[in-house]
Structure 1
Amino acid sequence: MARQLRSVELDFAETAPVRLVYTDVLGAPPEAVYRALATETEAWPEWFSAVTSATAVPDGRTVRLRGGSHFRETVLAAQPDVLYAYRSDETDAPGVHALLEAWRLAPSGSGTRVRWTVATDGTTLYRSVVRLARPAMGRTFRGAVRALDRRLASG
């Protein structure tokens, strides 16, 4: 059953009780990466293996993850070629009380440096599980940005 999460703002990316931060470099330019993140919502499952569906809705999107969890998200920041951030407002995932994700982009050589921050809070058990999942989430992130880079390179 879906439930409302605590409404957080962009500063939560820096103040959340649990913060996971991952970085990588893509060969694609920032504008192409930003477009894939912010405007090509329905294509996320093609490159982010944890996402099974993503649908744009007014002011955000709905996302379903592998395993079945569903999220309704609101976009908090959409700064072309620089930042795309959203918070989850509703989910059926157990234990989570607040969740925000921020994708920061910066030029890097002939490509883009991507920093993905997952900022969250929840029950003690939830926070422990998220911390333990840090390496697996890192692998998922690296796989996603590599798949995105291949997708963008193929045009």
Structure 2
Amino acid sequence: MARRLRPVGIDFVETAPVRLVFAREISAPPDRVFRALAEDVPGWTEWFSAVTFARPTDNGREIRLRGGARFQETVLMAKEPEVYAYRIEVTNTPGARAWAEEWRLSPAGAGTRVQWTFAADGAAPFRLVLTLARAGLGRAFRDAVTSLDRRLATA
């Protein structure tokens, strides 16, 4: 059953009870990475294997993940080519109360350092599951940005 989460601002990325931060350097330049994140919403299904459906909405996105999780998101910040951040407004994920994600991009040599911050609050079991899922989320992030880099190299 989908439910509305507590609305949070961009500052939640730094203050959330659960913060998982992952980073990786890729060869694509920041402006191309930013456009893939913020503008090519349907393209997420091509490089982030957990994403099975992605479409833009008036002020955000609708996302579906493998396993059945669904999200309605609102963009909090789209500052090209540095930051793309959004909060989850509605989800069917049990126990979630507030949730935001930030993709921070910075030049790294000829490429980009991509940092993804996953920030959330929820019931104790939800927070525990997220903490235990850190390694899996880290692998998913690494695989996704590696796939995105390959995709951008051939586009």
Q: Which residue of 2 aligns with 1:51?
A: 51
Distance in 2 separating the partners of 1:139 and 1:89 = 25
Q: Amino acid of the residue matched to residue 6 of structure 1?
A: R
Q: Which residue of 1 aligns with 2:93?
A: 93
Distance in 1 separating the partners of 2:26 and 2:37 = 13
Distance in 1 separating the partners of 2:121 and 2:71 = 15
Aligned length: 155
Query: Is 1:126 aligned to residue 146 of structure 2?
Result: no
1:17-96 superposed matches below 5 A: 17-96=17-96
Structure 2 residue ranges without an equivalent (≥5): none
Instruction: Describe the superposition over 1:125-153 as per-residue Cα deviations: whole angstroms up to 9, x where unpaired.
Output: 00000000000000000000000000000
Q: Which residue of 2 aligns with 1:114?
A: 114
Instruction: Describe the superposition over 1:86-127 as per-residue Cα deviations: whole angstroms up to 9, x where unpaired.
Output: 000001111111110000000000000010000000010000
Q: Which residue of 2 aligns with 1:154?
A: 154
Structure 1 residue ranges without an equivalent (≥5): none
SS in 1 for 2:33: helix
Q: TM-score, normalised by structure 2?
A: 0.99
SS in 2 for 1:115: strand
Q: TM-score, normalised by structure 1?
A: 0.99
Runs of 4+ displaced beyond 2 Å: none
Report the CA distance between 1:2 and its aligned residue: 1.0
Q: Amino acid of the residue matched to residue 8 of structure 1?
A: V
